[in-house]
Amino acid sequence: MQMLLTEIRQALGLTTNSQSPTTTEITAVTFDSRKVQAGSLFVPLVAERDGHDFVGAAFQKGAQATLWQADHPLPANADERYLVVSNTLQALQTLSQFYLRKVAPQVVAITGSNGKTTTKDMTAAILAQRYRVVKTPANFNNEIGVPITILSMDSDTEILVVEMGMDRAGQVAKLSALVQPDLAVITMIGEAHIEFFGTRDKIADAKMEIVTALKKRGTFIYNGDEPLLQERAQTVVQAKLTFGQKETNDLYSLTCQGSQKQIRFTTNLWPQLEFCLPLLGDYNVQNALASLLVGQKYQISPEQMQKALATFQPTANRTQWLTAANGSQLLSDVYNANPTAMIDVIANFSQLKTKGRRILVLGDMLELGAQGQKLHQQIATAIDPERIAAVYLIGDLMLSLQTKLAGKLPVYHFASSEQDQLVTQLRQDLDPKDLVLLKASNGLHLDRVVQALQAEC
């Protein structure tokens, strides 16, 4: 990013002091004072920790300017570097829209209950074969992360790939209005966040908000196997493309073969071309199909897409193979979890060949509301005692799964506060030949267990 401070003032509708320097350049925008670098604009957000308390530290680290919310008293030493706005978050969003219009890339927006991060990574890798691409980093997929992603673009960016998350109705609509996508993708509808929505129908309604600001000449790509999306897509006037397993879709897989660290598949559009993903799980083929349709829309050749999918780098802790200190192979999928995703990854993990044992380490799936216990119990349907040697559970909700599995195979349960005890027992129990799947909602912080198992005692 490169913008003059006077340009930022104008974008925010602020008056400019004629005596202030007009050549001050802003090269980065951040809301985290720990990430401030020389040339940054610091955005103090009001949350559990008020960002205004860190403005001084931001300037010490080289920030050129800061936003400042008007309901906070200005410091005695405040000068032209303090840009006073009514709301710092809204100002961040306004500035991102200004910069988006200035750079004017094509915008690909992606949402869905499962697979949106992996689909984002695949799509960005495919588009990067021909274009200069910027994508949402990590989980920057909300009303703060999306503006920051926009403002991270270089001025020569040609395509912006934006992931959109949600935990309430109206959130995706706001994000869609912020970026006004040229192409919108919905990966699938599951039970994620059902605590807030109550039914899958309402989740589908919330995901469909992505098309509310889709440009008139835009394209809507969605999972054609999902009746809830089929029904709602009928009201979309823009061009539409579907992917899935059924032959009624525009793009579907013909063959699919998986192993521990990759999966190969062919499709109806390019039947002679075999695609390879460096991931476990046939469910990832659906994510790949969505990204292939995006690539086709932007004239990426099948061969280029094949190359991109074979070498793309998924976001950390998304079905990522790691090695424990004792030699056990860890399949880290602790970035997030919901019932559909957990059942899918367990089913695929259970088919892996191994000279040792297959071990599950599962943590609570959050935001399932009143259906939480029932949905946790349903995970038992994916756990075959003939293929899974032992299950380690952590979190209060996983007590219901422990009850369901009792007497079928060894099951160990730990409270969410007992991570250290879980790590200690795993270190004692695991053999170097074992395969271990770890999956939970991000709020369980199972990534710390993954790191502990990788570290030497």
- Residues within the annotated binding site for ATP? 112-118
| Binding-site sequence positions | 112-118
Return the residue matching tokens 């007009």: 22
> What token pair was written down for 447?
């990534």
207 to each of 20, 116, 165, 166, 229, how far by Cα in Å? 45, 11, 9, 8, 9
Across the strands, what pairs with 4?
Answer: 25
Do 296 and 318 meet the contact criterion of CB atoms below 8 Å apart?
no
> What token pair was written down for 110?
């992606």
Amino acid (1-letter code) at residue 68: W
Do 13 and 73 meet the contact criterion of CB atoms below 8 Å apart?
no
Do 286 and 244 meet the contact criterion of CB atoms below 8 Å apart?
yes
Nearest to 184 by CA among 158, 222, 216, 150: 222
The H or E element containing residue 112 is none
**What is the distance between the alpha carbons of residues 234 and 230, in angstroms, rounded to a whole number?**
7
Residue 332, classed as helix, strand or coil, is strand
State the DSSP code for 65. Answer: E
Amino acid (1-letter code) at residue 9: R
**What is the distance between the alpha carbons of residues 36 and 310, in angstroms, rounded to a whole number?**
35
Neighbouring CB atoms inside 10 A of 107's CB total 23
State the DSSP code for 44. Answer: -
The H or E element containing residue 285 is helix 283-297
Q: 21-38 burial by CB neighbour count: b if 16+ within 10 A, else e?
A: eeebebebbbbebeebee
Q: What angle do CA 313, 317, 319 make, to 5 degrees?
A: 75
Secondary structure percentages of the chain, helix, strand, coil, to 5: 35, 20, 45
**What is the distance between the alpha carbons of residues 163 and 107, in angstroms, rounded to a whole number?**
11
**What is the distance between the alpha carbons of residues 392 and 426, in angstroms, rounded to a whole number?**
9
90 Cβ neighbours under 8 A, 6+ residues apart: none
**What is the distance between the alpha carbons of residues 48 and 37, in angstroms, rounded to a whole number?**
24
